[in-house]
Structure 1
Amino acid sequence: MRQSDASTDRRKPTSKRPKGGAPVGVLSDLDPVPASAVMYLRLWCEGHRDQLRADLTPALGPEVATRIGQEFDHLCSLCIHHGRRRMCRHHLQCKCLGADESCFANLVDLAAAGEDADAMLIASLMLRAEQVPLSTALAQSVGAALSRAKHEEDFGDDHLTAHSGQIYPTPQFTQ
């Protein structure tokens, strides 16, 4: 017997939403350090790469802020250039937390808390294996700095708007 073409094609319907862009929560549910990590990631992707350094300078001093800014830049670059797939993010003003953004937030938060094994597990979901130890070390340094300076920078939801429905794959930069 021959089945119809429709019944033999059991492939799952493909989604137009990029992997990693699906909303999994809202930023306001995050603690200050992971929420800050997501916001600085969004700013970094929008071209505001010195914003973290500028915001950390009053709390940590220019030398430490510059070093943390460089480490954050390196962490973001690793996620862009050495990711298992293209990383997605939501618009800078969006209230939603995307799946990739959630992984990034958890990586920074866990690493800052000294949960190295869990941070490395999260990093292994995002990055190629050879980049996991470095990304975890960078995330620990950035997260610790954000934790020390969290009283200086508050990402309340007053600056956020409703989800626009637009998901932004992070740009692929050439080296």
Structure 2
Amino acid sequence: MNATHYKRGGASVGVINTLQPWEADLILNLRLWCEGPVGQAQVWNSFATSLPRGTAADEMHAFEALVGALIRHAHRPLVRHSVGCACVGADESVFAHLVATASDGDLGEASLIATLLVTAAHAEQVALLAGQVGQSARQMSQYHAHKTDALSGVVVHLHSKTLQ
């Protein structure tokens, strides 16, 4: 890889179909959200069809708040892979690990993980949001077919984009 094209945080550290289904869905929702209005509509639809009517909007707002906080308070622009890419980038992996740790109830550890992505002043807020998002992501994966099925034949290549 040419050093001038390397994007910190974009290095492939895994493959999406080896993750827990809810973690793969979480990363795919992050990718879709960052694609713009069409992707955001897909994420909204996923929340609306996978969660009870009374909670879907609240959980979607928590997801929006988490992604917004990550983008606003990041040490550097975060890097993601394209929606159809089977790779999991370093930033995406940290994001999934943050959400998993927070939703497991270990907010102290989650706050430390958050500092890998955002400033220390915002780490606790990010960890709290991540806990809520993780609970809804786990719940959502129980109610719908997993998006990773579409990636089963994808060749693994590094395709990274910067979150903006």
Q: Structure 1-normalised TM-score? A: 0.83
Aligned-pair identity (%): 32
Question: Which residue pairs with 2:48 in the alignment?
Answer: 57
Aligned to 1:166: 159
C-alpha RMSD of matched pairs (Å): 1.8
Return the match for 1:35 from 21, 24, 37.
Answer: 24
Equivalent residues of 1:53, 1:68 under 8 A apart: no
Cα contact 2:87–2:158 (8 A) shared by 1: no
Per the alignment, do residues 158 and 61 of structure 1 end up closer, same or farther by CA in structure 2, a change over 3 Å counting?
closer
Question: Who is 2:7 aligned against?
Answer: 18
Post-superposition Cα deviations, 1:99-118, rounded to whole Å, max 9, x if no partner, equal 00000011111111112122
Structure index of larger Rg: 1
Question: How far apart, CA to CA, are the structure 2 residues paired with 1:132 and 1:65?
Answer: 25
* Amino acid across the alignment from 2:7: P
Amino acid at match of 1:18: K
Aligned residue number for residue 96 of structure 1: 87
Number of aligned residue pairs: 159
* Cα displacement (A) at 1:124: 0.9
Are the aligned partners of 1:54 and 1:65 in contact in 2 as well (CA < 8 Å)? no
1:165 to partner: Cα distance: 3.5
Following the alignment from structure 2 to structure 1, what is the Cα–Cα distance between the partners of residues 114 and 145?
Answer: 26
- Residue deviations 1:117-136, cap 9 Å, x none? 22111101110111111111
Q: How does 1:3-152 map to 2 (within 5 A)?
A: 14-47=3-36, 48-152=39-143
Shift of 1:87: 0.2
Q: Is the 8 A contact 2:86 2:157 kept in 1?
A: no
How does the TM-score come out when normalised to structure 2?
Answer: 0.88
Query: Helix, strand or coil: the match of 1:44?
Result: helix
Q: How far apart in 2 are the matches of 1:26 and 1:166?
A: 12
Q: Measure how far apart 1:15 and its partner are.
A: 4.8
Unaligned 5+ residue runs, structure 2?
Answer: none
